[in-house]
Amino acid sequence: MKLRDTNDKYSLLTEVNRLDLLDADEIPDSVFELFIKRRRQRVNRLKDFRKSQSTKAAWRKSRWSYMKGIHKFQRSIKAKRLHRSMGRFLALRNFPVKRPARESLEIVKDLVLKANSSIRTHLYIEQGYYMPLRDQVEFELLAEYILPILRHVETSLYEDVEYELSDEELECILRIVRVNEILKALAEVSGSSLDMVRGFWKETEDKEKEGDSTYLTKRFRETVEQLRKGNS
């Protein structure tokens, strides 16, 4: 387990009642093992409790409002190329570029596959760092939900780059990728101004529906439709 700073070190040692090691250069593996064992029991109980608060149907419908960890995870992915690749891929699916040497889905296929794989890898890396109890519960709920989706998307796109993403799969990607990169890609590929794209995106905003399971999917598709009308 890795610690980001002295605050993490203090919090971890507090949980296992070993503040005597606060000034130590290294924390013994046995302390980490004790922490992980105790934390695992608490995390599992809290995850089960969280899920038990609603029926399975309600859990699926409101999953994004429960999984606050996705916002922290999104901010932690700093690789601009990853966000840019995913954004351009989503845009190209809706606005094929027609030029002599056109940019096609086949050309960006390797980029989107690498980006998808990088997102999963980043999840595994994040899991290796100390987190406050509540953050860990939210992060694990997030990982348990989106990892199977990302693996399926990656396999499907590898076999067929024109594979039609389900609402659930598209929503997952839209929740992770930075909105600004998606909007910039839509502007570039559709030939519209970025201000126009941002204006259409803003029109689709509805704070009361942010917790809906396909909130961003609907916003994305409505924005694409408005851009198509504007270019027709």
DSSP labels, 116-185: HHHHHHHHHHHHTB---HHHHHHHHHHHHHHHHHHHHHHHHHHH-TT----HHHHHHHHHHS-HHHHHHH
pLDDT number for residue 28: 95
Tell me what the mean pLDDT of segment 22-26 comes to: 93
Mean pLDDT of the chain: 87
Whole-model pTM: value is 0.85
Helix (H, G, I), strand (E, B) or coil at 65: helix
What pLDDT is stored for residue 97 in this prediction?
62
Q: What is the DSSP letter of 54?
A: S
pLDDT tens, position by position, 98-134 = 544 446 777 788 889 999 999 999 899 889 999 999 8
What is the average pLDDT across 174-185? Answer: 93
- Ranges 67-76, 161-170, 174-183: which has the least confidence: 67-76
Of 58-62, 93-97, 157-161, which range is least confident? 58-62
pLDDT at residue 99 in the model: 47
pLDDT value of position 131? 92
Q: State residue 63's pLDDT score.
A: 73
Classify residue 230 by burial, with Cβ atoms within 10 Å: 0-12, 13-18, 19+: middle
Query: Between vectors from CA 95 to CA 94 and to CA 99, what angle results, nearest 5°?
Result: 150
* Residue 2 backbone phi and psi in degrees, to 5: -110, 150
The pLDDT value given to residue 179 = 92
pLDDT, residue 100, reads 41
Q: Which one-letter DSSP state was computed for residue 23? A: T
Q: Which of 63-72, 92-101, 145-154 has the lowest mean pLDDT?
A: 92-101
- CA gap 46, 81 in Å, rounded: 36
Taking residues 125-152, report their average pLDDT.
Answer: 91
Q: What percent of the chain shows pLDDT beyond 70?
A: 90
Structure tokens at 183: 């909007």
